[in-house]
Amino acid sequence: MKKTFTIIIVLTILLSSCTEKDEKLSPDKISGDLIVFNAGSLIVPFKKIKNEFNKKYPDVNVILETAGSRTCARKITDMDRPCDIMASADYTVINKLLIPEYADWNIKFAKNEMCIVFHKNSRMSKNINENNWYEILLDDNVAFGRADPNADPCGYRAVLTSKLAEKYYKIPGLAKKMLNKDKEFVRPKETDLLALLESENIDYIFLYRSVGQQHKLNCLILPDEINLKSEKFTDYYKEATVEITGKKPGEFITKKGTPMVYGITIPKNAPNEKAALVFLDFVLSKENGMKIIEKLGQASAIPSKSGTYNAIPKSLQKYAKE
């Protein structure tokens, strides 16, 4: 009798332990704040994703904090800010600035391209085309803006686009002229420039095509040799380089031109990892987040090869390849 009673006690404890574990792993139980650091170009799709996610998981308070991707990374590395998810407009920002000290893995999830964005009142906009856009931007009566290369991938991609344009159009010194003009309109992230454009303080912006489309602006589509879109021109893009700040003060990184691919991760300091895993699964699912992202102008990069595949949580490995 005593032995039977002992067995019952042990089974009760085991069942209780399993139940607690199941509840802990159950996505229906997630709650609390979920802090997301996201690139400026992801503002619109992530707001929509947040709204859809909260219909299913209303107890999670998704906090979207937007900045240039490199600024987002430095909030983690330099400011020790808590962050549950980091979504970068350039997957290499995560590789270079976060892995391995602040994050273990990285998933590539979306693509984009550079274009020249303008509004109906932009000066000389009736005449601009893919063969003369650089002449118009260099006109003394025209002002254009771009993002800060040290804060935002869109900033160094604007520099790379300018250098590729110099090569493509065979005009020596073109990039230097463009980068020395209108420096007062360089901003921390590309979306900061939209207010300047809408207020007609500037006429054009080096911007991602998806952002231009989301804000119903005119987009001048650039040749694939320039726009950093096509994998076909991977080797061609590499011929353009730009120096940007590194992990430490006084340290610099030489950034080569590459096709645009976004990356996403959960940092090691994530205070709500459980909710982060569920949210990220929602973002990367083709039925949910990626459906929204693609509808808003960005092609999917899922699944792509990841050099950190084995470190990716099992529930998310389906979105990457070894």
Which one, of 228, 116, 223, lies nearest residue 178 by Cα? 116
Contacts of 44 (CB under 8 A, 6+ apart): 211, 214, 296
Asked whether residue 118 falls in the same domain as residue 238, the answer is: yes
What CATH number does residue 239 fall under?
Answer: 3.40.190.10
pLDDT, mean of residues 237-248: 93
Cis amide leading into 58 (omega within 30) = no
Asked whether residue 92 falls in the same domain as residue 202, the answer is: no
Token pair, residue 185, equals: 């309109």
pLDDT, mean of residues 195-211: 97
Asked whether residue 237 falls in the same domain as residue 309, the answer is: no
Range of the domain at 220: 114-256
Asked whether residue 135 falls in the same domain as residue 249, the answer is: yes
42-94, pLDDT tens digit by residue?
Answer: 999 999 999 999 999 999 999 999 999 999 999 999 999 999 999 999 999 99
The yes-or-no verdict on residue 12 having pLDDT over 90 is no
The yes-or-no verdict on residue 10 having pLDDT over 70 is no
Supply the DSSP symbol for 152.
-
Question: Is position 6 within any domain?
Answer: no
The yes-or-no verdict on residue 203 having pLDDT over 50 is yes
- Our CA dihedral for 225, 196, 189, 214, rounded to 10 degrees, sits at -70
CA distance 226 to 242: 15
Asked whether residue 57 falls in the same domain as residue 87, the answer is: yes
Question: Is position 274 within any domain?
Answer: yes
Asked whether residue 42 falls in the same domain as residue 134, the answer is: no
Q: Is the dihedral of CA 61, 62, 65, 70 positive or negative?
A: positive
Per-residue pLDDT at 20: 40
Question: Is position 14 within any domain?
Answer: no
Percentage of the chain with pLDDT > 90?
A: 88
Per-residue pLDDT at 32: 98
Examine the fold and report which residue of 256, 273, 288 is the final residue of a domain before the chain moves on: 256
Query: Tell me, what amino acid is at 252?
Result: F
Examine the fold and report which residue of 205, 235, 256 is the final residue of a domain before the chain moves on: 256
Task: Give how many domains the chain has, as a whole number.
Answer: 2
Is the pTM higher than 0.85? The answer reads yes
CA distance 292 to 40: 16
Per-residue pLDDT at 59: 97
